Amino acid sequence: MSGPRVFIQTGDFDLAHEIAALRGDDKRVGAVCSFIGTVRDRNDGDAVASMELEHYPGMTEKSIEAMIDEAHRRFDILGARVIHRVGLLQPLDQIMMVAVISAHRGQSFQACEFLMDYLKTQAPFWKKEQTPDGARWVDARVDDDAALARWGITASNA
């Protein structure tokens, strides 16, 4: 697979289109694993009417690209694509996608989960949630040491 692997964008995405672009005409592909994250209407027990995501352009893409490189080193995959939306999002909106292609399903599943754990715990995104009590800024990264430890990663070396 050639071309961009990481897309940070405000607009929505179409899973079928993204998978087709990732696969291309590569006849080696025997497995496609994807994950789509959507905006929930609750967080930490509070109602969430909307959320606004911010990032550092350039730094965020570079960070995610490095983890895709690491996924290629760890797993026998043919390609990966990550889309993460920023800006104002509502409950039910698609917020992110990770897709991985490989010859066999096991490597595809593992690499997809590896990239998801990274995105949830280390990717540099910040969000502001609109709740009944007003707006609150929260670090979009979830502190999940178990998820990182599964891959031999600590927060200090991620």
Task: Provide the domain count of the chain.
Answer: 1
> Per residue of the chain (158 residues), what is the pLDDT tens digit?
467 899 999 999 999 999 999 999 999 999 999 999 999 888 777 788 888 899 989 999 999 999 999 999 999 999 999 999 999 999 999 999 999 999 999 999 999 999 998 888 888 888 877 777 777 777 655 666 666 677 677 765 44
Cα-to-chain-centroid distance, residue 157: 19
Containing domain of residue 90, as a range?
6-145
Does 1 map to a domain? no
- Cβ-based neighbours of 30, under 8 Å, separated by 6 or more: 102, 103, 104, 105
In a domain, 157, yes or no: no
Is 63 inside any structural domain? yes
Say if 153 falls within a structural domain.
no
Beta strand 31-38 pairing with 94-102: antiparallel
Residues 87-129: tens digit of each pLDDT: 999 999 999 999 999 999 999 999 999 999 888 888 888 887 7
User: Is there a domain that residue 158 lies in?
Assistant: no
Cα dist from 144 to 19, 21, 99, whole Å: 29, 32, 22
Within a domain: residue 152?
no
The answer to whether residue 154 sits within a structural domain is no
